[in-house]
Amino acid sequence: MAWRSSGASNRDLIENLARNDKINDPRVKAAFLKVDRAHYAPSSPYDDHPQSIGHAATISAPHMHASAVENLLPFLIPPADSSSPPRRVLDIGSGSGYLTHVLAELVGEKGTVVGVEHISALRDLGEKNMGKSAEGRSLLSSGRARFRVGDGRKGWTEPGEEDEKWDAIHVGASARELHKELLDQLKAPGRLFIPVDDDEGGFSQHIWCVDKDADGKVERRKLFGVRYVPLTDAPGK
C-alpha cells in the first residue's frame, strides 16, 4: 500500500513518508528528521509498522505518528503573536517517547510537551530513550519535554500549573469513549487527536479530530479507521 514508507535510514523513512503524502508540511518533515527513530524502536527502526515495546504497549507505525502531527500542527507551532502564551501539549500514552520528542521539536523554545504513561516502566523508557541524543537531553533538562505517570483517561495537570490547559492533546491508545476530562482540559481554541472504539469490544476503531473553538464550542470529525492498543488501567489493576 502507498503508506508503506519503510527506508534504510531515518532520512529514507522520512523522505518516503513525504513522498507518500503522509508528511506534507516542511515544518513537520524537519521535526521528524531531527529525531532518529533508532533511539526509540526496539528493532528495524526504519520500517513503517508498529512494534511492541513491552507492557502490552507499542510504538505506532511512523505513518500514524506523521498523521497525528500533521493534524495537530496548527496547535503545535508557536503562536505568531509573541505576547501569546507558549504552547502546551499533552501526549497521552507516550510509550517509547518518540512522538513526545517530535512534538517537543515543534512547540518552540518556550513550549512544553508532557508525556503521560500509566506504567512507571514505560515512563522511564520514554525518558531513557530521549536521553540517547544530545537534542533529547537538552529538551529534558530544559523542561520542554517531561514524562509523568498517571491515568491518561483523566488527562493531566502539571504540579504548579493547575489552571493551565492544553493547546493540543494526542492520545496514543484507543479510548472506549471520548473522555470528558480531556475535553475539559483542552484550551479554547484547541485540538484533540484520539482513537475511539466504535463498538464495545474494541474490534473497530476510528481516529477522531476534536476541535474546541474560541467560544468553547466542540466539533468532532471522524477521520479514518485504525487499530490501536486500548487505553485502559495499568496491567494488574
Question: Is residue 11 one of the residues assigned to a domain?
Answer: no
216: its cell numbers: 468553547
| Other residues' Cβ atoms within 10 Å of the Cβ of residue 216 | 11
226: its cell numbers: 485504525
pLDDT tens over the chain, length 237 residues:
445 899 999 999 999 999 999 999 999 999 999 999 999 999 999 999 999 999 888 999 999 999 999 999 999 999 888 888 999 999 999 999 999 999 999 999 999 999 999 999 999 999 999 999 999 999 999 999 999 999 988 899 998 888 899 999 999 776 777 778 999 999 999 999 988 876 665 567 788 889 999 999 999 888 766 666 666 665 555
CA-based nearest residue to 105, from 36, 191, 20: 36
Question: Is residue 115 one of the residues assigned to a domain?
Answer: yes
Please write down the HEC assignment for all residues of 87-115: CEEEEECCCCCHHHHHHHHHCCCCCEEEE
Q: How big is the chain by its Cα radius of gyration, in Å? A: 16
Question: Is residue 171 one of the residues assigned to a domain?
Answer: yes
Question: Is residue 22 one of the residues assigned to a domain?
Answer: no
DSSP-assigned letters across all residues of 121-175: HHHHHHHHHHTTSHHHHHHHHHTSEEEEES-GGG----TT-TT--EEEEEE-SBB
Distance CA 17, CA 21 (A): 6
What's the pLDDT at 221? 87
Question: Measured between alpha carbons, how far is residue 215 from residues 12, 99, 128, 212 in Å?
Answer: 43, 30, 40, 8
Beta-bridge partner residues of 58: 52
Distance CA 209, CA 229 (A): 18
Task: Determine whether 60 is an active site residue.
Answer: yes
What's the pLDDT at 233? 63
CATH number at residue 216: 3.40.50.150
pTM score: 0.92
The total domain count for the chain is 1
CA trace torsion 114, 3, 34, 121 (10° rounding): 40
Question: Is residue 51 one of the residues assigned to a domain?
Answer: no
Distance CA 96, CA 82 (A): 32
Selected catalytic residue, list 5, 60, 94, 96:
60
Distance CA 202, CA 68 (A): 20
What's the pLDDT at 178? 75
**Residue tagged 523554545 (cell numbers):** 109
What's the pLDDT at 1? 43
Distance CA 218, CA 152 (A): 20
Q: Domain limits at 212?
A: 68-226
